[in-house]
Amino acid sequence: MLIDRRRSIAIAIAVLATAPATVSAQGNLLVQGIGDAEFWASDTMSNLLTRNAGRPSGLARLQLWAAAEPWRGLVVYAQGQALGGSAKPAMEIFQAVALQQLGVRYRWASWFMLDAGKTSPIVGEFAPRRFSDRNPLIGVPDAYPTQYPVAVKVSGATRVLDYRAGIVSIPVSHPVYVPNPDAAARPALGLGITPFMGFRVAASTTWGPYLNQSFSATQLDGRAWTSFHQRVAAFDVSFSRGYLETYAELGLSSYDVPRRAEPIQGTAYFVEAKYTVRPRLFFAGRFERNDYPFIAAFGPTTWVSSSTAFNNGEIGAGLRLSASTLLKMTCRADRWHVTPENEAFIRPGGRVFAIQLSQSYDVLDWVDRVRMR
């Protein structure tokens, strides 16, 4: 599987990067990325924040995306990531090499675009700000990690209104908290309104199956796995004025669970602010509350479905060393609600300190510089 992913990324990027030189000259080819080097130091008291069993450790990440426009309005794009190091969080599933996006977009006008392939998610607003050059902190909200479903979707924007809608292959869920899903067609919708510059509100939703076909008929109480649904709604608001930028998101979820009479509910939210005090210096903070459903099958007839709540907060500062180089330092802490039901696998909460150096790059700029020598 790992070799196949490497080949997929290599093929996708190679096809785009080896386009004729005349295409590059016309501005119809883009090959860019970000390289991140991180240092982490944590304690061992947190399920979410502990890195490398509490020992100081590092992480390296290389991201590359490319896009080509062979015909006017038609864009082929790809995005891949390579990740290495011992500072990987235990509550996330990482792949050493992953193809995150590979799709085709047709742009009729700003108010109508059609995408098909492995694309960015429809529900939630944090995905575009997950990259280190746009994220004011080093950590990311835990509630719903950014996923890249196979989808067919339409999107567009006017001065006041933006929208997105499509059919996606996977639910918006955390693979550590609920079973890994199998692909199933499910609708997803999103709508945003910008009444005036600097202020935007948005809502998005999706619903459909979230389990997989590996469960037995006994575990599913004689029903099909596709009959157990997840429902998610997200509400977002952003406001910026002068040197202040703020974001907030509220997520509500509901899961049907085998052998449980009523669905189990989940709630998550985060608020975030960034203030630029100098052209190259900014401070930022984020607070998150996640009351997530944990769902798992144990044996042929037993399901565990319970809510586990925690708070976590992160504060930090960023310094732009150059237009393409960003240095950030942050401190993050969390606190978990420990109960008799979850005390066997939940730690009370801990702290972590992190440093991140990010370097953006443009492959075509490198090529142009070599040609000019």
| Residue 241, in any domain of the structure | yes
Distance CA 185, CA 251 (A): 21
Distance CA 289, CA 335 (A): 10
User: What pLDDT is attached to residue 25?
Assistant: 36
SS3 137: coil
Report the range of poorest mean pLDDT among 176-180, 265-269, 323-327.
176-180
Total count of domains within the chain: 1
Distance CA 293, CA 311 (A): 15
- At residue 67, φ and ψ (nearest 5 deg) are -150, 145
Contact yes or no for 359/44 (Cβ under 8 A): no
Quick one: how far is CA 236 from the chain centroid?
15
| Residue 33, in any domain of the structure | no
Distance CA 160, CA 280 (A): 31
SS3 367: helix
Report the range of poorest mean pLDDT among 11-20, 161-170, 358-367.
11-20
Using pLDDT thresholds of 50, 70 and 90, give the confidence band for residue 147: confident
Q: What CATH number has the domain bearing residue 227?
A: 2.40.160.10
User: What pLDDT is attached to residue 91?
Assistant: 67
Average per-residue pLDDT for the chain: 89
State mean pLDDT over 17-28.
43
Report the range of poorest mean pLDDT among 139-153, 191-205, 336-350.
336-350
Instruction: Give residue-wise pLDDT tens across range 256-291.
Output: 999 998 999 999 999 999 999 999 999 999 999 999
Report the range of poorest mean pLDDT among 5-9, 52-56, 363-367.
5-9
User: What pLDDT is attached to residue 23?
Assistant: 36
* b/e sequence 85-117, b meaning 16+ C-beta within 10 Å: bebbbebeeeeebbbbbbbebebeeeeebbbeb
Residue 276's domain comprises 103-362
SS (H, E, C) 162-200: EEEEEEECCCCCCCCCCCCCCCCCEEEEEEEEEEECCEE
SS (H, E, C) 8-49: HHHHHHHHHHCCCHHHHHCCCEEEEEEEEEEEEEECCCCCCC
Beta-carbon contacts of residue 366 (< 8 Å; ≥ 6 apart): none
Instruction: Give residue-wise pLDDT tens across range 205-219.
Output: 999 999 999 999 999
Contact yes or no for 309/335 (Cβ under 8 A): no
Using pLDDT thresholds of 50, 70 and 90, give the confidence band for residue 21: very low
Percent of the chain surpassing pLDDT 90: 75
Instruction: Give residue-wise pLDDT tens across range 103-126.
Output: 999 999 999 999 999 999 999 999
State mean pLDDT over 95-104.
91
Distance CA 143, CA 252 (A): 10
Give the side-chain half-sphere CA count within 13 A for 272. Answer: 26
User: What pLDDT is attached to residue 162?
Assistant: 97
| Residue 48, in any domain of the structure | no
User: What pLDDT is attached to residue 143?
Assistant: 83
Nearest to 61 by CA among 43, 87, 35, 80: 35
User: Residue 354's beta-bridge partner residues?
Assistant: 40, 330
| Residue 26, in any domain of the structure | no
State mean pLDDT over 69-96.
87
Instruction: Give residue-wise pLDDT tens across range 225-263.
Output: 999 999 999 999 999 999 999 999 999 999 999 999 899
| Residue 88, in any domain of the structure | no
**Tokens linked to 314:** 């992160």
Using pLDDT thresholds of 50, 70 and 90, give the confidence band for residue 96: confident
Using pLDDT thresholds of 50, 70 and 90, give the confidence band for residue 349: very high
Distance CA 255, CA 293 (A): 8
- At residue 11, φ and ψ (nearest 5 deg) are -65, -45
| Residue 263, in any domain of the structure | yes
Distance CA 371, CA 165 (A): 43
| Residue 215, in any domain of the structure | yes
